[in-house]
Structure 1
Amino acid sequence: MTWNALDAYDNGLSFFSEIVEAVPADRWAAPSPCDGWTALDVLGHVGEAASVGARILRGGELDFTRHDPPSSAVEGDPAAWWSARATEARDALTGATDLDREVDSPAGRRTVRDGLSFPAVDLYLHGWDIAAATGRTVGFPDDAIVFINGVFDGVPDEVTRRPGVFAAAVSVPEGGDATTRLIGWAGRDPEWAAD
């Protein structure tokens, strides 16, 4: 299946941005569903990935330096910091029209389509993580669910079930909605709640 990774990434930026803007200032230190990470760590991780993605799209020099903890990447107001990363990513998207162009990425040479697909997925899943960390419930838009399922359709478990990608799938209640099923597939407990 072929999908428009540019649209999926742009839509993911909007989804993630709406969640970030709704986080109360006192909730950034809350634990998240990502083991050992706070909501601010999740934000730092996604923001760093967005900056790398923008450099990939522009064909710029890649810097794979990662902050540990990821929250140390965030400077000043978290929402303002993220807004700058999202603007940088959107600006880079406007110049990217050839989805089959090969670019350097942290995973080696890839097409723009492949290079943006996983970061687009991350925007939705980590958006859910931040929402859960701050006591909110969010659902994924239907087009995001179709996109995410398409990205991983036919990808073997040994590729996705490893550190830094996804934990083992979590059982979800029968009859759960599409977001609940996807969250469980991605190794997250859909019932997870901060303290």
Structure 2
Amino acid sequence: MPVQTLDAHRSALRQFGDRVAQVRDDQWGAPTPDPGWTVRDLVGHLTGEQLWVPELLAGRTVREIGDRFSGDVLGDDPVAAWTAAATAARAAWTEPGALDRTVQLSAGPTPALDYLQEMTLDLAVHAWDLARAIGATEDMPNDLVSEVLDLARRIVPRYADAGIFAAALDVASCTDDLTELLALTGRRR
């Protein structure tokens, strides 16, 4: 499963990055499907998440990292900021032994593989959010959607009461994986 999850992560990172590269100058302030977030907020959120990865995989704790990645992590060039953070995160994930580690998240010690799965889910769902916000293609590769849907079925229920995801939507008769994935996270295609 680690190789499959690493492949899905690479694909999700690419999907989000491709959409970041498509953001026009006049779209950074546009709303997203995430209540209260603009395109810049969404890209800043994902960029910040990528900045944490090398630090956490190197064994640092949330306390040691502190507020280094708080505030505006995008600066004057959001695309370059995203690209640098994504490149560093991917390099950290693919280091030998990275997935065998335990990371110290705010929720406590977490297997790195679990952390990677959560990051992959977040990237894929937010790639769709960004696409919707900027009018880009909302489709994603079937193998990515299938893998992330399997992850979402396991991960989303764990956080049902934490407010991380909007309430799941009922799509019981749905046969489309992307529609089901989005519905699990409270989004309507």
TM-score (norm. length: structure 1): 0.82
Q: Is the 8 A contact 2:146 2:177 kept in 1?
A: no
Size of the alignment, in residue pairs? 185
168-177 or 134-143: bigger deviation: 168-177
Closer/same/farther in 2, CA of residues 176 and 38 from structure 1, 3 Å limit: farther
Q: Which has the higher helix share?
A: 2
2:31 aligns to what? 31
Question: In the TM superposition, what whole-angstrom CA distance separates every residue of 1:87-106 from its partner, at most 9, and x where no partner exists?
Answer: 11122123143523222223
Partner of 1:193: none
Q: State the secondary structure of the residue aligned to 2:93.
A: helix
Cα deviations by residue, 1:157-193 (Å, 9 ceiling, x for unpaired):
3x23245421112245965632122112210122xxx
Unaligned segments of structure 2, at least 5 residues: none
Partner of 1:179 in structure 2?
Answer: 178
Matched position secondary structure for 2:165: coil
Whether the 8 Å CA contact 1:53–1:116 is kept in 2: the answer is: no
Measured in 1, the distance between the counterparts of 2:121 and 2:85 equals 17
Post-superposition offset of 1:80: 1.0
1:188 paired to 2:180 = no
What is the CA deviation profile of residues 10-63 of structure 1, one whole-angstrom value per residue up to 9, with x for unaligned ones?
222111111111111111110000000001101111111111122122223542
TM-score, normalising length: structure 2:
0.85
- After superposition, the Cα gap between the structure-2 partners of 1:82 and 1:181, relative to the gap in structure 1 and judged at 3 Å, is same
Is 1:58–2:58 an aligned residue pair? yes
Name the CA shift for 1:44/1:175 in 2 (closer, same or farther; >3 Å).
same
Q: Is the 8 A contact 1:6 1:113 kept in 2?
A: no
Q: Tell me, what secondary structure is at the counterpart of 1:138?
A: coil
For 2:172 and 2:27, the matched residues in 1 are separated by: 28
- Residues 116-140 of structure 1, C-alpha deviation per residue, up to 9 Å, x if partnerless? 1101111111111111111223222
Percent of aligned positions with the same letter in both sequences?
A: 33
Which residue in 1 is equivalent to 2:126?
126
Distance across 2 between alignment mates of 1:22 and 1:173: 34
